[in-house]
A = this chain, B = another copy of it.
Amino acid sequence: MVQRSDEQHAEKMKKKQAAHDKIMAGKTIEKGLLIVHTGKGKGKTTAALGMVVRAIGHGKKVGVVQFVKGAMTTGEKVVFDAFPDNVEFKPMGEGFTWNTQDRARDIALAREAWEEVKRMVADPAYDMVLADELNIVLRYDYLPLDEVLDVLTARGEMKHVLVTGRNAPEALMEAADLVTEMTLVKHPFRSGVKAQAGIEF
C-alpha cells in the first residue's frame, strides 16, 4: 500500500475517529436482538458460542438449545459447566438428521427442543437464548415456520435470540436485526484433513 508521512497518517486517523465518533453518538438504542448466522461457511455455531461466552462474562443468563448436534462431543460443554449459574445447556438433537432416517422421531425431537427454546424465550430470567441449528430443522419442515416466527418476534424487549444454521428461511432473515452470512473461501476438508478437537468440535 501507499506509504504516508506521519503527519498525513495522523490527519487521516483523526478524520476516521471523528467519523467513528459521530456514528457512535447516534447509536443510543439498547434492545434485545434477533441474530441469524447462516451460509455454507464455518463459524456459524462457533460465533454464536463466542457471544454466549461474552454474555457469561458479563454475568448474564444464557439458555443454549442444540437442535441437531447433541451426539457430538463438544469442548464448549466443559466451559459451560464452569458457569452453572449462567448457562443452561440442552443438547436435544441426536446427531445430524441424516443419521436417523426416521422422520417422525426427528420431528418429535425437534418439537422437544423447540419447547425448551419457547420456555427460555418466555422466561425473563434468560438474557440470551441460542437456538443452535434451528435453521436445519426449519429447512426440513420439522417445525412450522409461522410458529417459530411468532415466538421469536414476540420475545421480551431486552432478550437476545441467536439462530444458527445454513439455509436460514427468508422470513426469518427479514425478521432479524442482524444477519451474518459465513462464506466458505477455503476449507481443509477438501485436502483430506479430518475434524479436530478445538476446531470442529
Contact = CB atoms under 8 A, between A and B. Distances in A.
Contact of A201 (B54, B78, B83, B196): B54
Contacts of A9: 101, 103
Contact of A104 (B6, B50, B75): B6
Contacts of A102: 10
A180 B41 contact: yes
A171 interface: no
Given A16-B98, A28-B194, A178-B188, A57 B76 contact: yes
A33 interface: yes
A1 interface: yes
Given A6-B103, A53-B75, A201-B54, A193 B180 contact: no
Interface residues of A, number: 86
Contacts of A17: 98-99, 101
Contacts of A178: 42, 186-188
A77 B98 contact: no
Interface in A59-109: 60, 74-79, 82-83, 96-104
A97 B14 CA distance: 10
A192 B102 CA distance: 46
